[in-house]
A and B are shown apart, each in its own frame.
Chain A
Amino acid sequence: MAKKKRAAAAEELDLVPIMNMVTILIPFLLLSVQFVSIAVIDSTLPAIGKPTEAQPDDEEKLNLSVAITDKGYSVLGASGVLGNPDGDGATVPCLRDGCPGVDAYDVSKLTEMLGQIKDEYPDEENVILIPESNVPYEVLIATMDAARENPDVKVTVNGVSDVARPLFPFVVIAGGVQ
């Protein structure tokens, strides 16, 4: 009887060391978990130094610029203001009062308009942002997003289908309006 009992006990694995290890591993891994995944947006200074990426060659350039003011976006090209500027000067006026607040800028309309410009100048990839001094950084990032691609239009790029249509992925930030 006693012999039988011992044999039955030996069948069970001794899980305690594994438990110890796991309980130590869990806090350690919890500490190093990153719940937010981060990305970067590349940009270069317009004048200083040679940009390593986004080499601009100055032949027949559109020089597309987007000024971010407290009235909205003004889209400028080499030939002057593009699109139909409203009475107060902004091409894409603010949705409502509250500029330079974050939600007041009409980002989707800017994307749409840049899409039309891209139709005319398919080779152009650069856009210059000219923000006013009091424009929050968040608006700057939102504008870069709007200029980079149009998620509503899907195209095929290099054999990969269903990609958001790229617009002007190379962003340069200019000194800005005082």
Chain B
Amino acid sequence: MGKRKLRRGDDDAALSITSMMDMMTIILVFLLKSYSTDDVSVSPSKDLQVPISSAEKPPKLAVNVVVSQKEIVVDGEEVLTLDRVQNDQGLEVTAVPADEKRGQLISALYDRLLEKAETAKDLAMRTGSDEFEFKGEVLLQCDKRLPFSVIREVMFTAGQAQFGNFRFVVIKGG
């Protein structure tokens, strides 16, 4: 027995893959388990820290509006760059540039959202199915440090562009 083993080791110096295979299989199962096929993906960065909440409702696909500290992005396309200004308490906060606004309305965002609304309605009309019915839903991913004034302007603009149902994206936990 011992003699044969010795000889085999001499012949081919094959790696013992079995333990590695065990590990790989476990990793594979773990990764498959945490593989998510959510409609919505959040990619947190320095400028986009999504707040944590105890909400449980799963997200549904809708027009995606991301408001970070730097910019407003609609469905992956940048619409507007945001400014840093001093507020009345002397603190530096994010704000929509004054020349981009008509009153509370953010012009560039309004135009883009109106376009999205038209596309969605067109789709609903052509398919005629309930699944694509235009409900005016918008997914809002906002940075947690943004002042409410920015959120209000974004919400107001979305409301004007027929998006009246907001879904605030949050991270589960807490």
Contacts and interface: CB of A to CB of B under 8 A. Distances in A.
A40 B58 contact: yes
Contacts of A36: 42, 44, 171-172
Contacts, number: 171
Q: Which of B32, B58, B139, B168 has the most CB of A within 10 A?
A: B168
Interface in A130-148: 131-138, 140-142, 144-145, 148
Contact of B148 (A29, A35, A136): A136
Contacts of A138: 51, 144-145
A37 B172 contact: yes
Nearest to A22: B24
A132 B55 CA distance: 23
A141 B145 CA distance: 11
Interface class of chain A by DSSP: mixed
Contact of B139 (A40, A102, A140, A148): A40
Interface stretch (B105-113, B122-130, B151-159): B151-159
A95 interface: no
B66 interface: no
B34 A35 contact: yes
A141 B20 contact: no
Given A39-B58, A40-B59, A42-B57, A137 B145 contact: yes
